């Protein structure tokens, strides 16, 4: 089902966080995952999401709700974003039940112990995650 003519995957460059993958690495993986989909663009940004959206004339921001615990934070963020920029609306979407319990820190932890991640992330991400963790530890993480 196509809901939007174009989708922009916006990757935040957040200096307050130390992600496992750099912004550039994340963008490369996302672009590879959506290769052949000309209606999906990947861009990075710094600062406020609504300012990024406004600068690109993006009218809708999609946010995922995995659990009730996400809802309170996301609702506050949506109201603040609306306060900052009334032209940008937030749509909430729920993931498949299969992915509703996932978080990046959980996936990273499972991978760091050599646990199976192939069924919870795309193959490209699983491979890069094992490689990155293995390089950090100077060992090969088994598949």
**Is there a contact between 125 and 104 (Cβ–Cβ < 8 Å)?**
no
Cα–Cα distance for residue pair 94/102, rounded to 1 Å:
12
pLDDT at 140 over 70: no
What pTM was estimated for this model as a whole? 0.86
d(CA 66, CA 98): 10
Residue 3 pLDDT level (bands cut at 50, 70, 90): confident
For residues 42-58, average pLDDT: 96
Q: What is the pLDDT at residue 138?
A: 60
The dihedrals phi and psi of 113, each to the nearest 5 degrees, come to -100, 10
**Would you say residue 143 has pLDDT above 80?**
no
Q: How far apart, in whole angstroms, are the C-alpha atoms of residue 50 and residue 86? A: 9
Residues 92-121 have pLDDT tens digits of 999 998 888 898 889 999 999 989 999 999
- State the pLDDT confidence band at 7, using cuts at 50, 70 and 90: very high
Query: What's the rounded Cα separation, in Å, for the pair 143 and 127?
Result: 8
Residue/partner pairs of 32-40 with CB below 8 Å, 24 or more apart: 32/124, 33/122, 33/124, 33/125, 34/9, 39/4, 39/5, 39/6, 39/7, 40/6, 40/7, 40/8, 40/9
Q: Domain residues of the chain, as ranges?
A: 102-138
């Amino acid at each position: 089902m196509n809901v939007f003519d174009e989708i922009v995957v916006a990757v935040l460059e957040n200096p307050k966080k130390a992600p496992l993958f750099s912004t550039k690495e994340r963008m490369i993986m996302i672009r590879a995952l959506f290769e052949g989909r000309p209606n999906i663009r990947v861009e990075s940004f710094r600062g406020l999401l609504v300012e990024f959206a406004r600068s690109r004339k993006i009218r809708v921001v999609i946010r995922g709700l995995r659990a009730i615990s996400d809802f309170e934070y996301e609702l506050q963020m949506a109201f603040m974003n609306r306060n900052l920029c009334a032209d940008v609306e937030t749509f909430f979407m729920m993931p498949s039940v299969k992915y509703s319990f996932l978080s990046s820190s959980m996936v990273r932890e499972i991978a760091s112990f050599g646990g199976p991640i192939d069924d919870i992330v795309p193959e490209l991400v699983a491979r890069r995650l094992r490689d990155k963790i293995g390089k950090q530890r100077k060992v090969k993480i088994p598949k």
